[in-house]
Amino acid sequence: MNELARQKDVTLLELLDRILDKGVVLTGDVLISIADVDLIYLGLNLILTSVEKMHEYQGWEP
Amino acid sequence: MPDFVKVPLEEEFAWYLYGIVLCGENDRDIDTDLTGISAEPGVRIIVSGSLGAVVSRVPLSQFGAAVLEEKLQDLRWLEEKVRLHQELLQQIMQERTIVPMKFGTIFQSQERVRDILEKQQEHFQALLKFLTGHEEWGVKGYYRREELHEYLSSGECSSKLGQGGTGLGKAYLLRKKLEEELESRAVDYSRQIGEEAYGWLRVHSVRSTLNKFLSRNVTGREEELFFNGAFLVAKGSHGAFRHTVEKLNGEFGAQGIFLEVSGPWPPYSFVGE
């Protein structure tokens, strides 16, 4: 696979910042669209915080 | 005989739309060997008029409305899917200009996708023509708290601290107050730098926009985000754009301020209303 296409170094933040927040929003014919992104960010905020905590706890393990 | 028959297949699958590209008037639907969001090959381009819709079939067991809402809270699942979505667009981008859809744009059938292409033919054609030959670059600006505080105080507070004198408690309060004061100055100062950087970077772009600030909880980084911009840059101007970023980093690096570039992205930030 092409090097460029596999940008593993692209952070999740950069991805979410665009793919979830930007791009064309189609309505009408669409079966599902994720309209309320702020809600997702809110959820993410909590998730990221808890992931961070989890890592902290793991850091204490021998 | 009933004049309708339930087709179970149609109920179990839907069509995930990644983006819209330009095609030839006489092109037929194209089956590619590219991998979509389900992590298996089967991406197709549905062609109508001069437009093509990049889609793949997804199971409703994962992408149905109710399920999706739940899945979105699962960061591991979300990360995998968002990466697959982006990797596909990245590959398409190498050959064609694409108008990217927001994550999770899902249609009941291919016919519905075709309808959209027909209805919005002119709009998407114009947008694609405008975007051709351009790429989106993201620039985020961060500062390292301590370094910037040190730069902004440049010696003045250490003497003040020395005068704090007698009690430990008093010294602690004084330090805390200074810290808050410095951070408020750091915020003001970095905003100023952000405006300046935006001005320089805009010169090399045809469109630019400021995106929202994200807290450290969301960025998950030690540094404070003070600038979040997106720029639509002609492929030919990319060198000058990067050069400007490097120049700004050279100028402000010693103050604990730096810019990070990401891209090229599909033009996510330049396809809205």
Question: pLDDT tens across B178-213, in order?
Answer: 899 999 999 999 999 999 999 999 999 999 999 877
E strands present in B133-269: 134-143, 207-210, 224-234, 257-265
The answer to whether residues A26 and B115 touch, using CB atoms and an 8 Å cutoff, is no
Please say if the pLDDT value at position A57 is more than 70.
no
What distance in Å separates the CA atoms of residue B235 and residue B154, rounded to the nearest whole number?
42
What distance in Å separates the CA atoms of residue B270 and residue A22, rounded to the nearest whole number?
9
Coil vs helix vs strand at B57:
strand
Place of tokens 């109920």: B11
Angle at A35 between CA A18 and CA A41, to 5 degrees: 55
| A5 found inside a domain | no
Q: How many folded domains does chain A comprise?
A: 1
Judging contacts by C-beta atoms under 8 Å, the chain B residues touching residue A21 are 211-212
| A4 found inside a domain | no
Rounded (to 5) percent helix, strand, coil in chain A = 50, 5, 45
Residue ranges of chain B with per-residue pLDDT less than 50: 1, 8-11, 157, 164
Of B83, B214, B218, the CB nearest to A15: B83
pLDDT of residue A58: 42
Interface predicted TM-score (ipTM) of this complex, two decimals = 0.71
| A49 found inside a domain | yes
Q: Give me the half-sphere count of Cα atoms (radius 13 Å) on the Cβ side of residue A27.
A: 2
Please say if the pLDDT value at position A54 is more than 80.
no
- Best of A11, A32, A52 to mutate (most B CBs within 10 Å, chain B): A32
Number of A–B residue contacts, CB under 8 Å: 127
Mean residue pLDDT across chain A: 56
Please say if the pLDDT value at position A53 is more than 50.
no
| A31 found inside a domain | yes
pLDDT of residue A55: 44
What b/e string do you get for B171-197 counting C-beta neighbours within 10 Å, with b at 16 or more?
Answer: eeebeeebeeebeeebeebbeebbeeb
Highest mean pLDDT of the ranges A6-15, A28-37, B13-22: B13-22
Coil vs helix vs strand at B86:
helix
| A54 found inside a domain | yes
Q: What is the dihedral of CA B125, B110, B81, B70, to 10 degrees?
A: 120
* Cβ pair A10:B72 closer than 8 A: no
Task: Determine phi and psi for A34, rounding to 5 degrees.
Answer: -95, 95
- What is the dotted CATH code of the domain comprising B135-270? 3.30.70
pLDDT of residue A44: 52
For residue A48, give both structure tokens: 């990221």
* Cβ pair A33:B211 closer than 8 A: no
pLDDT of residue A4: 38
| A6 found inside a domain | no
Q: How far is A12 from chain B (nearest CA, A)?
A: 7
| A3 found inside a domain | no
* Between residues A23 and B182, the one the model is more confident about: B182
pLDDT of residue A62: 33
* Between residues B2 and A61, the one the model is more confident about: B2
* Cβ pair B107:A24 closer than 8 A: no
pLDDT of residue B54: 97
* Cβ pair B82:A16 closer than 8 A: yes
Domain hosting A36: range is 12-60
pLDDT of residue B237: 94
Residue ranges of domains in chain B: 8-132, 135-270
| A18 found inside a domain | yes
What distance in Å separates the CA atoms of residue B12 and residue B60, rounded to the nearest whole number?
5
What b/e string do you get for B113-133 counting C-beta neighbours within 10 Å, with b at 16 or more?
Answer: bbebbeeeeeebeebbebbee
